[in-house]
Structure 1
Amino acid sequence: MSPRSGSFAIVAAAAAVLAFGTSLLSPVGPAGADPAETPRLSREGRWLVDQYARTVLVHGQNLVWKHDPYVPPDSAEGFTAADAAWLADHGFNGARIGTLWAGVTPDAPGKVDEDYLDDWQRVIDLLADEGIWMQYDFHQDMWHETYGGEGVPDWAAKRPSPYNLHPPIKLSFPATYITPELATVYDNFWANKDGVQDGWAAAWGAVAQRWGDQPYSMGYDLINEPWAGREWLSCPVTGCASSYRDEFQPAYERATAAIRQTDPDGIVWYESQLLANQVPNSGFGPANDDQVGYSWHAYCPYGYLDSQGIPVGVSGCKDYDETHNQKALDQAETMGATNLMSEFGATDNTELLAIDTAAADDHFTSWMHWAYKHWDDPTTADGAQGMFEDDADLSTVKPEKLRTLVRTYPQATAGTPVDLSFDPADGAFRYTYRPAPEIDEPTEIFVSPIHYPDGADIAVEGGRVVGRAEHNRILVKASGTEPVTVTID
């Protein structure tokens, strides 16, 4: 689905970049850049780490163009160099990009559309030039346009018998998921009927062959919000245990094998079934690969009700977020994986966004907000999404949403995070980490250009500010082996 709390239906202009304060040194280039090292993220324990072994937190945006040709155009409405620079300047150091299966092999299994990959390469190069980590996403919602969705190629969307004897049922998103025909389509995919799953895995192999060495890669999100098929009614009770064991995980292992033919080290992200957005009951077992991530989504049901005009309030989402973040950590530990909240938001309710992001800080959760731009999303339960009133005009950014999502935070830590907090109301930031003396590169902290109109007051215990880097980052070095605490007001 892309957002949107929609699964619950089934069960100002931007502030200008401001000075940090007179105590900082002159800007320098990317910290410690070594041309011999390709910047890519990998998994180390529960953490994402960069090429220097620094712990990385990702605050990103979803970039999924859901209409044919399934890639944003080179236009103000789509994605240009101005967009990439805007993301980096506002601290968004990640992007989940919709490199859809429908675009990779549109005509036949194994027949790769290199022009489609070239079109995405334009966007990828813009993001990499700004140092933005990228997760490749085979995004799908309700399988195919036949059912009111998108994501898979036409050859993989042949209608099953006997449903093909009458016109397809196409309900408002996301209701089509519960129809018998679409449930059968997903069951057939998990069973690899007619080799469709083989074709999906081969398409992932083609993506890895193209981008396995791509700078700023953070790996492969295998399928967006998979549906359990006819077993879906049992999922809120049983957690779809048999689906995870017998369908999801074997399919993911098949795609991983295809990826590993050309990319031995990129993170492969296993995503939980759609209803886990509301009921955190994912059931993956241990992964047979040490570079695996758990991709999960958080759409609080109170947020969905709010979006539908039902005034229940969203304060209950605090408990929801605590549960989902902790369950994600537990699931990742069982798998032997890192984890990423690859979707949340899809709303202009800044109270809910503040709850989501504060919970992420509490658990050191990396995240991708849904979504950067609305892009006429055909599969959403809440039209109030995107950062801008007008996708073609960056000056129409929603100011309160911007103030909530643009956060002071550690993008790369030369050590292990201990405690993190940020208050979007007043910009109060506090971060403690245990330094790793063997890492030469500094800790990089993004300092929000939104929250300190008179300049940021920065204090460091156990270390010092040694400079600053482009895109509003300060560089911190530990004085010794004792914990370092950075406070910014």
Structure 2
Amino acid sequence: MSRDQLLWTAFRLLLLLLPSATADLAHKISVNSRGQFVDGFGRVRIFHGINSVLKQPPWYPDQMLNASRLRAYQDWGFNAVRLGTMWAGVQPRKDAVNATYLAVLSKIVTTLAEHGMYSIMDMHQDVLTSKYGSYDGVPRWLVDSFPPPPQPYPWPLPGPPTPSQWAEGYITWAVGSAFQYLYKNESGSLTHWANFWRSVASAVRTSDHVLGYELINEPWAGDVYNRPALLLPGVAGRDNLLPVYDYLTQVLAKEDPSRIVFYEPVTWSLVVGGTGSGGTGFDRLPGGPANANRSALSYHYYCWIVSPGDGIYPLWKRLACDALLLTRNLENAKEATAATGGGRFLTEFGLCAPTGQANATGTIECNEVLQRTDEEQQSWTYWDSNFTRADGSWNWDVVRSFARAYPMATAGQPVSYSFNLTSGRFDFAYQPDPKVRAPTVVFLPMSVHYPSGVSVNVTGGYTSRLEGNQLLVQPPSGTRRGARAAADTVVTVTVTRK
């Protein structure tokens, strides 16, 4: 082959590879120094989505393989699913791996990716085990190998909690001691836990739509009867959780080094807040500061003092929930990650569902969280994503609240964005970064909020074009890539209904 032929062959090969390389950049997600999720182009990414967890065999939600349902989710702007990835499903017996279950998880991840959705692989548990009245978030064979608790289950409760009061199981000494055994490697628990994550990462790491791995859902503090100081969230985080998270993070770094590790504090840590014995107890990231680009604090918000329903939301309850608890959760999550580095993601909120009544508890509570997360530029996944009525039809009262306009990918720094649920008006401002070689993408739920089309106004000479549900915003024609933008340059995007 001549030199000219060789160069031409290399050029054609480059042309063939460019689309794949461009797609890889778009899908590769990490965390920048500001704690924002960014893709390979450097665009700031926001995620809206749902939780999908099945707490019993076969341990996977088959609706995540339902193409028509996923198309609807995509049409509403959902680009993330926190997917129940169940330890008991992966390791049904000691030293046994269920390859069939892993194959199904991999298929779900692939199917979600085909519909534009990233997966957070969530090792879900609640009250740890079926041995103590729950389901097997941790395999029963492992819990059965732990020493017996100092007091039999359900001490100190007079009887087992009812299904609606399942969280009371955390009060029992049996559950607390089982968590302590888990954290302290009783019966080789940490080795088994690490093997679980090795198996999961090996099964899904080839997908470019795995956002990351969530080490454990809502960890309990440990044996609070033997050591009451563990009720202080900072003590539990520092002494029980962080050493375990260090170990598991190192394991995952060897299996899938580019993915984000999602880690949770005890659930009340962000209500207490502060440092030392308060707050998360994480004075550094799991695995150390070098993991800042692949770490994210996973946190939850629920207003446990009310049970939101269809009734009118009393002002005092709204103040307690939204002005106090929600504010503390959002602010303390921000402070925690500002101290350690890494990102943050509201991976659960709920106990609310819009009803179509403006003053109803569910309507106000859900819409308040959605509005506040817009203000904080926070990604979220909703629990438990019940968008259908009893007859299987879509519950449009719920859909309308969650199908929101938002900046899915920003080629620069977002300044602010807001969506008016009533009027459909969307306002967005950002500081452009001409070095980013990809457009800003604003998601618009056309079928839900803009059935007759949209009117768009973009300032700064930037242009826009609508492709399906995505509004692409680009710099003026002739702008040189990599040119320095003025520090005070702000592009605004306004979208209204026609």
Q: Shorter chain as normaliser: what TM range? A: 0.7 to 0.9
Determine helix, strand or coil for the equivalent of 1:474: strand
Aligned to 2:77: 91
Deviations 1:166-212 (A, max 9, x none): 67663131111101111111111111111112211221122122222
Deviation at 1:39, TM superposition (A): 1.6
The within-5 A match list for 1:454-469 is: 454-469=452-467
The verdict on how the C-alpha distance between 1:261 and 1:89 changes in structure 2, with shifts beyond 3 A counting, is same
Distance 1:459 1:208, change over 3 A: same
Equivalent residue, structure 1, for 2:244: 251
- Mean alpha-carbon deviation: is it higher for 220-229 or for 120-129? 120-129
The equivalent position to 2:341 in structure 1, one of 336, 341, 358, is 336
Q: Shift of residue 305 of structure 1? A: 6.3
* Worse-matched range after superposition: 218-227 or 232-241: 232-241
Residues 54 and 412 in structure 1, CA contact (< 8 A), matched pair in contact too: yes
Q: Is the 8 A contact 1:283 1:331 kept in 2?
A: no
Please list, as runs of the form range in 1=range in 2, the aligned pairs for 1:28-427 lying within 5 A after superposition.
34-35=22-23, 37=25, 39-45=27-33, 46-73=35-62, 79-109=65-95, 111-150=96-135, 151-158=137-144, 160-163=146-149, 170-172=160-162, 173-231=166-224, 239-276=232-269, 278-280=271-273, 281-287=279-285, 288=288, 289-290=291-292, 291-304=294-307, 313-319=317-323, 320-348=325-353, 349-372=362-385, 386-390=386-390, 393=392, 396-427=393-424
Cα-Cα RMSD: 2.7
- Please state whether the residue corresponding to 1:257 is helix, strand or coil: helix
1:304 and 1:335 map into 2 onto residues whose CA distance is: 34
Relative to structure 1, the CA distance from residue 352 to residue 230 in structure 2 (aligned partners, 3 Å threshold; closer, same or farther) is same
Unmatched 5+ stretches in structure 1:
1-30, 373-385
The answer to whether the Cα contact below 8 Å between 2:46 and 2:377 also exists between their aligned partners in 1 is yes
- The Cα shift of 1:463 comes to 4.3
Distance 1:232 1:388 in 2: 43
**2:146 and 2:186 in contact (8 A); partners too:** no
| Greater Cα offset, 33-42 or 44-53 | 33-42
Aligned residue-pair number? 438
Q: Distance in 2 between matches of 1:341 and 1:435?
A: 26
1:431 aligns with 2:428: yes
Change in 2 beyond 3 A, CA 1:309/1:141: farther
Counterpart CA distance in 2 for 1:307 and 1:193 is: 46
- AA of the residue aligned to 1:240: P
> Offset at 1:356?
0.4
- Percent identity of equivalent pairs: 29
Which residue is 2:4 aligned to? none
Q: TM-score w.r.t. structure 1 length? A: 0.83
Which structure's CA Rg is the greater one?
2
The secondary structure found in structure 2 opposite 1:283 is coil
- Report the 3-state secondary structure (helix = DSSP H, G, I; strand = E; otherwise coil) of the residue aligned with 1:174: helix
Instruction: Give the partner amino acid of 1:40.
Output: K
- Structure 2 distance, partners of 1:340, 1:167, is 35
Alignment CA distance shift 1:35-1:241 (3 Å): closer
The TM-score normalised by the length of structure 2 is: 0.82
Write the distance in 2 (CA, Å) between the matches of 1:308 and 1:195.
50
- Contact 2:48–2:78 (Cα < 8 Å) also in 1: yes
Provide the rounded CA distance (Å) in 1 between the counterparts of 2:232 and 2:405.
Answer: 36
CA distance in 1, matches of 2:397, 2:21: 35
Give the 3-state SS of the residue equivalent to 1:411 in structure 2: strand
Amino acid at match of 1:318: D
1:413 and 1:33, CA in 2 relative to 1: closer, same or farther beyond 3 A?
farther
Contact kept? 1:239, 1:283, Cα under 8 Å:
no
Q: CA-to-partner distance for each residue in 1:290-314, whole Å, 9 max, x for gaps?
A: 3111000011234436689995642
Instruction: Specify the alignment match of 1:379 in structure 2.
Output: none
Deviating more after overlay: 446-455 vs 252-261? 446-455
Tell me how far apart the structure 2 counterparts of residues 427 and 130 of structure 1 sit (CA, whole Å): 25
